[in-house]
């Protein structure tokens, strides 16, 4: 009897293992069509860009279909170019970090405002900021170009009216710092509604007992925000910060469409626009692909580092 129980038990264990594997495999089977589409639309183009970054690829290679692998020559050329270190990389990093900081701070302040408003005013404000979010990046960029137009813009006209500037001698788009100040206003204006609505939704999940208890203990508004609100909705801040970082590091339209941003003024190029100009204006597709790969690696490094830092901070709390 004991000898019959052993094989039966092993058979039952094998059946349970097969059933467990089937249950584990079932979600992947359901996701397979979507993953296949993503592989075709995302991963293959990414792999193609990586392959092109190791080639000297131009119009001749497009016409002939030949591959001209040059190894790491494109990367050596880019990393050895002082233009990358003195202009493009500072433009990309400083601009993105400024936009992320201002977007998250402004979005959080607006979310706190929405939390305190009555239903009617909350609806009005939410509608207004959602309108800003729904505006296409191209449209928003041209609006900001019009606002800062040297001759007919609202800013130049107002400053001219008080005698602060001479419009014919002032061009906001030629100077590197004023150019990126306008681009920052554009990006923050377009990006803060996402942070505001997301953080506002997270604020609604905080139990009212927590801030009320802190208020009874004598905590001021800043202490309640920093000690209760931030730790409670920390994952939401993580998500909006990471997404804002990714979006702001790869900003393209807001730079390219501004006067001088398409290459006429090299001092205002960032990595995304530089990659585009190398590829489609100079037909150096291998060089442009290498720049795009460097931008992707930079984004990955920043995102992974930020997630690890927040994870360590969360473990210490």
Q: Which one, of 89, 99, 103, lies nearest residue 297 by Cα?
A: 89
- C-alpha–C-alpha distance, residues 302 and 271, integer Å: 15
For the stretch 143-180, pLDDT in tens is 999 999 988 888 888 888 888 788 777 889 999 999 99
240 and 190 inside one domain: yes
Residue 251: count of CB within 10 angstroms of its CB: 24
pLDDT for the residue numbered 1: 44
35, 143: one domain:
no
Average pLDDT rounded to a whole number, residues 124-132? 87
Do 15 and 113 have their domain in common?
Answer: no
Average pLDDT over all residues of the chain: 86
92 shares a domain with 195: yes
Q: Report the CATH number at residue 195.
A: 1.10.3720.10
80, two tokens: 């050895």
With a cut of 60, say whether residue 314 has pLDDT above it. no
Q: How far apart are CA 236 and CA 242, in angstroms?
A: 10
pLDDT the model gives residue 126: 87
**How many domains are contained in the chain?**
2
pLDDT value at residue 193:
92
Q: Which of 17-26, 47-56, 130-139, 250-259 has the lowest mean pLDDT?
A: 17-26
DSSP-based three-state secondary structure for 55: strand
Residue 69, beta-bridge partner list: 55
* Residue in 125, 146, 259, 265 with CA at minimum distance from that of residue 200: 125
User: Domain containing 7: what range?
Assistant: 2-52
Q: Looking at the predicted structure, is the pLDDT value of residue 6 above 50?
A: yes
285 inside domain: yes
pLDDT for the residue numbered 101: 95
Say what the pLDDT of residue 225 is: 81
For residue 32, the model assigns a pLDDT of 85
pLDDT the model gives residue 317: 52
47 and 115 inside one domain: no
Same domain membership, residue 96 and residue 40: no
Q: Are residues 46 and 132 in the same domain?
A: no
Please report the pLDDT score of residue 46 as a whole number.
85
Mean pLDDT, rounded, for 51-56: 90
Q: State pTM to two decimals.
A: 0.81
Co-location of 131 and 192 in the same domain: yes
Same-domain pairing of 34 and 118: no
Backbone angles phi, psi at 217, to 5 degrees: -80, 0
The verdict on 9 and 106 lying in the same domain is: no
Query: Quick check: is 142 in a domain?
Result: yes
pLDDT of residue 75: 93
Residue 13 lies in a domain: yes
Once rounded to an integer, what is the mean pLDDT over residues 67-71? 85
**What is residue 276's predicted lDDT score, i.e. its pLDDT?**
93
Domain closes at, from 18, 36, 52? 52
pLDDT top residue among 96 and 133: 96
Q: What average pLDDT does this structure show over 258-281?
A: 91
Burial of 59 (0-12, 13-18, 19+ CB in 10 A): exposed
Looking at the domain assignment, is residue 179 inside a domain? Answer: yes
Is 29 within the bounds of a domain?
yes
Residue 104 lies in a domain: yes
Q: Give the pLDDT score at 293.
A: 93
Residue 28: inside a domain = yes
Per the domain annotation, does 64 fall within a domain?
Answer: no
pLDDT value at position 90? 94
Q: Are residues 242 and 291 in the same domain?
A: yes
Q: What percent of the chain lies above the pLDDT cut of 90?
A: 36
Highest mean pLDDT of the ranges 66-75, 265-274, 303-312: 265-274
Length of the chain in residues, anyone? Answer: 317
Same domain, 129 and 206: yes
What is the phi/psi pair of residue 80, to 5°? -90, 0
Question: Which one, of 182, 177, 103, 180, lies nearest residue 142 by Cα?
Answer: 182
Residue 103's nearest CA partner among 294, 240, 236, 296 is 240
**Which ranges constitute the DSSP H helices of 135-208?**
137-147, 154-161, 176-203
């Amino acid at each position: 009897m004991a000898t019959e129980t052993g094989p039966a038990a092993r058979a039952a264990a094998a059946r349970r293992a097969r059933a467990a594997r089937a249950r584990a495999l079932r979600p992947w089977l359901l996701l397979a069509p979507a993953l296949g589409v993503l592989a075709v639309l995302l991963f293959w183009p990414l792999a193609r860009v990586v392959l092109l970054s190791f080639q000297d690829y131009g119009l001749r290679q497009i016409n002939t279909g030949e591959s001209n692998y040059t190894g790491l020559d494109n990367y050596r050329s880019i990393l050895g170019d002082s233009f990358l270190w003195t202009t493009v990389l500072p433009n990309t990093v400083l601009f993105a970090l400024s936009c992320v900081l201002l977007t998250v701070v402004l979005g959080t302040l607006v979310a706190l405002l929405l939390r305190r408003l009555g239903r009617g005013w909350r609806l009005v404000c939410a509608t207004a900021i959602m309108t800003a979010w729904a505006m296409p990046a191209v449209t928003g960029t041209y609006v900001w170009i019009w606002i800062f137009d040297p001759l007919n813009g609202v800013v130049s006209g107002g400053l001219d009216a008080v005698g602060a500037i001479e419009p014919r001698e002032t061009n906001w788009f030629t100077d590197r710092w004023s150019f990126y100040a306008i681009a920052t206003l554009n990006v923050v204006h377009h990006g803060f509604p996402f942070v505001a609505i997301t953080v506002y939704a997270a604020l609604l999940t905080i139990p009212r007992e927590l801030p009320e208890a802190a208020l009874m203990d004598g905590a001021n508004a800043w202490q309640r925000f920093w000690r209760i609100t931030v730790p409670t909705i920390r994952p939401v801040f993580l998500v909006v910060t990471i997404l804002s970082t990714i979006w702001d590091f790869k900003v393209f339209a807001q730079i390219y469409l501004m006067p001088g941003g398409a290459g006429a003024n090299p001092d205002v190029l960032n990595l995304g626009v530089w990659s585009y100009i190398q590829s489609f204006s100079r037909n150096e597709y291998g060089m442009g692909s290498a720049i795009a790969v460097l931008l992707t690696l930079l984004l990955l490094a920043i995102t992974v580092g930020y997630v690890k830092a927040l994870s360590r901070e969360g473990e210490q709390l």
